[in-house]
């Protein structure tokens, strides 16, 4: 990997023709992504419909599930009388699958008869006697099994079973109330973080070389041993100030022992990362993590970033940490003497 390769991202608002110029020697790969937001407007003559989605942190996720989201749909008839049978079609957010246990509980409701159909297309609900005097709400969970880099809004549509042409559609999204929630901005430069939350990686304890092999993967651009010196909170992200102890892979950031580097984690991803001040970590990641700011290099913590805690020398005096201490020592020796033989 060329140590001179680095990635710089920034966001601009373009209201007219835009000209981009570059000066200097070398080859530059320029990628432009256009983002826009459109308020979907459609007359809802027969129904008052609202949709919200929020992440559930207090549930136990099934195996391989990245996160769980609760979707709440509220409906009320706007017709002169109640709606005899209404159909609600729910398109899933990309990478999400409905939780059948919460769906089954909806059938037990007494105030509204609810049935549903799980097909390869949208999740379909059948609601009988939708009231015109008060909203009726149904809530169910969906599980995220796959990460998507840019998660797009999904739709919920309601219509009469007998007159399906008159439809009301609303869109929902995990961050629908704030278009700026999915980016980190520092020194007037922004990086998108949507769909890029850190998650705890699984380790193969049966393979003694597992972590060594992971660090030495060609896609890994940097690898350090560092101490978490400080934690700084802002409105949209948390900064973990790491003091570098060892450099195993340098990448484009020419960092040395004793230097400090900031690792930024978006607030929407906060619950995935549990770091403790004063602890030592082996950490590594890809070139996409590296963020070259005018003042200093920083790192965006994402789904490909690894943090592995190992006891420090003081902790290693405790016999209960003997296995982890031996494991950390072996990993450090392998990186020192063998390096990464790609």
The whole-angstrom separation of Cα 40 and Cα 45 is 15
Query: Considering the domain boundaries, does residue 248 fall inside one?
Result: yes
Query: Considering the domain boundaries, does residue 20 fall inside one?
Result: no
Residue ranges of the chain with pLDDT lower than 50?
1-7, 15, 33-42, 176-181, 187-188
Check residue 231 and give its pLDDT.
Answer: 93
Check residue 244 and give its pLDDT.
Answer: 95
Rounded to two decimals, the pTM is 0.48
**Any bridge partners for residue 237, and if so which?**
266
| Rg of the chain in Å (alpha carbons) | 25
Please write the tens of the pLDDT for every residue from 208-258: 899 999 999 999 999 999 999 999 987 667 899 999 999 999 878 888 999
Check residue 23 and give its pLDDT.
Answer: 74
Q: 299: number of CA atoms within 13 Å, CB side?
A: 29
Instruction: Give the end of a domain, one of 172, 204, 220.
Output: 172
Check residue 18 and give its pLDDT.
Answer: 66
**8 A C-beta contact, residue 116 and residue 106:** yes
Nearest to 264 by CA among 175, 325, 187: 187
258 and 150 fall within a common domain: no
Query: Considering the domain boundaries, does residue 14 fall inside one?
Result: no
Q: 171: number of CA atoms within 13 Å, CB side?
A: 14
166 and 287 fall within a common domain: no
171-203 residues labelled b (16+ CB within 10 A) or e (exposed): ebbbeeeeeeebbbebeebebbbbbbbbeeeee
Q: Give the count of domains, the chain.
A: 2
Check residue 16 and give its pLDDT.
Answer: 55
> What are the backbone dihedrals phi and psi of residue 136, each rounded to the nearest 5 degrees, phi first?
-115, 135
199 and 164 fall within a common domain: no
- 341 CB-near residues (< 8 Å, 6+ apart): 216
Q: Which domain holds residue 314?
A: 183-337
89: tokens are 């079609």
**Around Cβ 48, how many Cβ atoms within 10 Å?**
15
Query: Considering the domain boundaries, does residue 212 fall inside one?
Result: yes
**Around Cβ 92, how many Cβ atoms within 10 Å?**
16
205 and 241 fall within a common domain: yes
């Amino acid at each position: 990997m060329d140590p001179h390769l680095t990635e710089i991202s920034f966001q601009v608002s373009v209201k007219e023709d835009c000209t981009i110029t570059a000066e200097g020697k070398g080859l530059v790969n320029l990628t432009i992504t256009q983002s826009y937001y459109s308020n979907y407007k459609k007359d809802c003559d027969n129904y008052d419909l609202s949709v919200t989605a929020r992440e559930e942190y207090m549930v136990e996720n099934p195996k391989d599930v990245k996160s769980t989201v609760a979707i709440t749909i509220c409906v009320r008839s706007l017709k002169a009388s109640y709606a005899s049978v209404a159909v609600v079609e729910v398109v899933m957010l990309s990478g999400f699958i409905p939780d059948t246990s919460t769906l089954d509980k909806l059938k037990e409701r007494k105030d509204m008869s609810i049935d549903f159909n799980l097909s390869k297309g949208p999740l379909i609900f059948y609601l009988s006697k939708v009231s015109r005097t008060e909203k009726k709400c149904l809530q169910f969970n969906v599980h995220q099994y796959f990460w998507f880099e840019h998660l797009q809004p999904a739709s919920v549509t309601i219509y009469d079973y007998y007159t399906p042409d008159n439809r009301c559609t609303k869109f929902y999204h995990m961050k629908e109330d704030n278009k700026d929630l999915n980016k980190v901005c520092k020194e007037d430069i922004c990086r998108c973080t949507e769909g890029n939350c850190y998650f705890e990686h699984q380790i193969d304890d049966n393979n003694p070389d597992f972590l060594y092999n992971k660090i030495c993967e060609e896609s890994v651009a940097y690898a350090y041993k560092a101490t978490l010196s400080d934690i700084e909170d802002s409105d949209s992200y948390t900064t973990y100030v790491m003091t570098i102890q060892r450099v195993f892979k340098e990448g484009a950031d020419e960092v040395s022992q004793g230097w400090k580097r900031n690792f930024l984690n978006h607030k929407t991803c906060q619950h995935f990362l549990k770091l403790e001040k004063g602890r030592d970590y082996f950490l590594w990641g890809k070139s996409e993590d590296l963020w070259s700011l005018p003042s200093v290099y920083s790192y965006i913590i994402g789904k490909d970033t690894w943090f592995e805690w190992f006891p420090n020398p003081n902790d290693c005096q405790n016999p209960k940490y003997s296995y982890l201490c031996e494991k950390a020592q072996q990993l450090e020796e392998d990186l020192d003497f063998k390096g990464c033989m790609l």
